[in-house]
C-alpha cells in the first residue's frame, strides 16, 4: 500500500549536464563493483595473493630480525646461526624478485577471471547500446574498462608487492633497504606497471572478440598456457630458441631477470623479450580498438 501523499509524477531535471571528463571512471567503478559482487571467486582469487604477501612480509621481517639479533649477540655461535639463516632465507632483494614473479601468476589468474567478461558480457547482452547511446566515446569506454581491470591487477600484484617492500623498508635497520636498495622499489613498480597494463590489454582484447566470458577465459588461458608450452616444446625440438618469444610468461621472466639484474639463461635476450611484450600489447590494443569500433558503430 502506498502513502496517500505518494504520487508517481514525472519531474523535469533542473540540473545541468557537464562535459564530464571522468566518465571512464564511472564505468570503471561500475565494473569493479559488479566484479566484486560474486563473493566466492573474489575470495578464492584474492586469498592466494593475501597469503603470499603475508608469508613474504613475515619472511622479510624475520631476515632483518635475525640479522639484527645476531649482530647484537655476536659470538661465533650467533654468527654461525645468522649465516645459516641467511643461507636459508636468502637475500632480501632476491626474495622480493621471487615474490614479484610468483604474484604475477596469481595476478594473471585474477585479472583473466575479472576481465574476461568485461567486454564479452556487454556484447552478449547488448549493453554496449546503453553505453554508446550516451555521450561516451570509444576511448572513454576503453579507458573505463582498462582502469577497472587494472584495479584488479593492482590489488593482486602491486598491492602485495608494496606490502613486502614496505616491510623491508620499515624492518631494515637504519632504513638500509630504502637507502641502499631503493632500485628494487622502482624496478618493482616498473615491472608491476608493465605486467598489469599488458595483461589488461590482452585480456580485454580477447574479451572483445567473443560473446561469452567462458570463451574469453578459454582464449586467455590458451594464449598464455598452451602457447607457452607449445613454444617451449618447439624451441627445444627445433633448437630455435627464438620460438620462446611467442610465450608471454617467458618474455616476462626474461624481462624480470634483466630488470632486477638477475642472472639470465643462456638463450635469453632481454631486448627481444621486451619487443615481444610490446608486440603482444600492441596487437591486443589494435584488436581492441577494432572490436570497439564495431561495438560503437557498425559500419
Partner 1 sequence: MSDAATLIETHSLGKSYGKVQALRELSIAIPPGAVGLLGPNGAGKTTLMKLLLGLLVPTEGRASIVGEDPRTRRGRLSIRERVGYMPEGDCLLPNATGVELVSMLGRLTGMRAADAMTRTHEVLDYCQLEEARYRPVTGFSTGMKQRLKLAQALVHDPQVLLLDEPTNGLDPKGRRQMLELVADLAQNHGKNVLLCTHLLPDVERTCESVIALQDGSVKLVAEVAELTRAEGARYRLLVIRNMDAFCDALDPAGVVLEKREGRRCTLRLPDESQSADLLFHLAHQSGAVLESVEPARSSLEEAFLTALQPETQPVQA
Which grid coordinates belong to 251? Answer: 618474455
Q: Which has the closest alpha carbon to 193: 154, 162, 156, 220?
A: 154
CA 40 centroid distance within chain: 20
**Which segment (130-138, 164-172, 190-198, 225-233) binds partner 1 by CB under 8 A?**
130-138
Confirm or reject binding of residue 4 to partner 1 (CB under 8 A): no
Query: Cβ closer to partner 1: 6 or 271?
Result: 6
The answer to whether residues 31 and 111 touch, using CB atoms and an 8 Å cutoff, is no
**Which segment (18-26, 95-103, 203-211, 273-281) binds partner 1 by CB under 8 A?**
18-26
Confirm or reject binding of residue 11 to partner 1 (CB under 8 A): yes
Confirm or reject binding of residue 296 to partner 1 (CB under 8 A): yes
Confirm or reject binding of residue 27 to partner 1 (CB under 8 A): yes
Query: Cβ closer to partner 1: 33 or 79?
Result: 33
**Burial class, 241, CB count within 10 angstroms (exposed 0-12 / middle 13-18 / buried 19+):** middle
CA 227 vs CA 183, 231, 236, 271: distances in Å: 33, 6, 14, 20
The answer to whether residues 229 and 250 touch, using CB atoms and an 8 Å cutoff, is no
Query: Cβ closer to partner 1: 76 or 298?
Result: 298
Out of 30, 47, 80, 182, name the contact with partner 1 by CB under 8 A. 30
Site string for partner 1, 85-124 (x = CB under 8 A): ------------------------------------x---
Task: Round to whole Å and give the CA distance between 31 and 25.
Answer: 10
Task: Round to whole Å and give the CA distance between 109 and 190.
Answer: 20
Query: Cβ closer to partner 1: 128 or 241?
Result: 128
Judged by CB under 8 A, how many residues of this single chain contact partner 1? 36
Q: Quick one: angle between helices 138-153 and 92-125, nearest 10? A: 140
CA 4 centroid distance within chain: 54
Residues 136-175 binding partner 1 (CB under 8 A) are: 136-137
Out of 73, 126, 171, 244, name the contact with partner 1 by CB under 8 A. 126
Write out the residues near partner 1 by the rule CB under 8 A.
Answer: 8-13, 15, 17-20, 23, 26-27, 30, 33-34, 37-38, 121, 125-127, 129-137, 296-299
Amino acid at each position: 500500500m502506498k502513502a496517500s501523499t505518494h504520487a508517481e509524477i514525472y519531474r523535469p531535471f533542473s540540473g545541468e549536464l557537464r562535459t564530464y571528463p571522468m566518465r571512464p571512471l564511472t564505468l570503471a567503478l561500475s565494473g569493479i563493483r559488479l566484479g566484486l559482487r560474486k563473493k566466492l571467486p573474489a575470495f578464492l582469487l584474492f586469498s592466494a595473493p593475501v597469503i603470499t604477501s603475508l608469508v613474504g612480509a613475515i619472511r622479510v621481517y624475520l631476515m632483518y630480525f635475525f640479522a639484527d639479533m645476531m649482530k647484537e649477540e655476536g659470538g661465533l655461535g650467533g654468527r654461525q646461526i645468522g649465516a645459516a639463516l641467511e643461507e636459508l632465507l636468502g637475500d632480501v632483494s632476491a626474495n622480493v624478485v621471487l615474490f614479484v614473479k610468483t604474484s604475477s601468476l596469481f595476478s594473471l589468474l585474477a585479472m583473466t577471471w575479472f576481465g574476461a567478461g568485461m567486454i564479452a558480457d556487454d556484447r552478449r547482452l547488448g549493453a554496449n547500446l546503453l553505453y554508446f547511446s550516451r555521450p561516451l566515446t570509444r576511448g572513454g569506454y576503453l579507458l573505463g574498462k582498462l582502469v577497472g581491470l587494472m584495479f584488479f591487477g593492482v590489488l593482486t600484484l602491486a598491492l602485495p608487492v608494496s606490502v613486502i617492500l614496505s616491510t623491508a623498508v620499515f624492518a631494515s635497520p637504519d632504513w638500509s633497504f630504502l637507502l641502499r636498495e631503493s632500485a628494487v622499489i622502482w624496478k618493482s613498480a616498473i615491472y608491476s606497471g608493465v605486467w598489469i597494463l599488458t595483461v589488461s590489454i590482452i585480456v580485454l582484447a580477447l574479451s572483445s572478440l567473443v560473446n561469452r566470458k567462458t570463451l574469453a577465459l578459454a582464449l586467455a588461458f590458451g594464449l598464455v598456457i598452451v602457447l607457452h608450452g607449445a613454444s617451449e616444446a618447439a624451441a627445444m625440438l627445433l633448437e630455435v630458441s627464438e620460438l620462446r618469444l611467442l610465450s608471454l610468461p617467458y618474455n616476462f621472466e626474461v624481462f624480470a631477470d634483466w630488470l632486477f639484474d638477475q642472472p639470465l639463461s643462456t638463450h635469453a635476450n632481454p631486448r627481444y623479450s621486451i619487443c615481444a611484450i610490446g608486440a603482444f600489447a600492441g596487437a591486443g590494443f589494435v584488436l581492441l580498438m577494432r572490436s570497439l569500433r564495431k561495438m560503437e558503430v557498425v559500419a
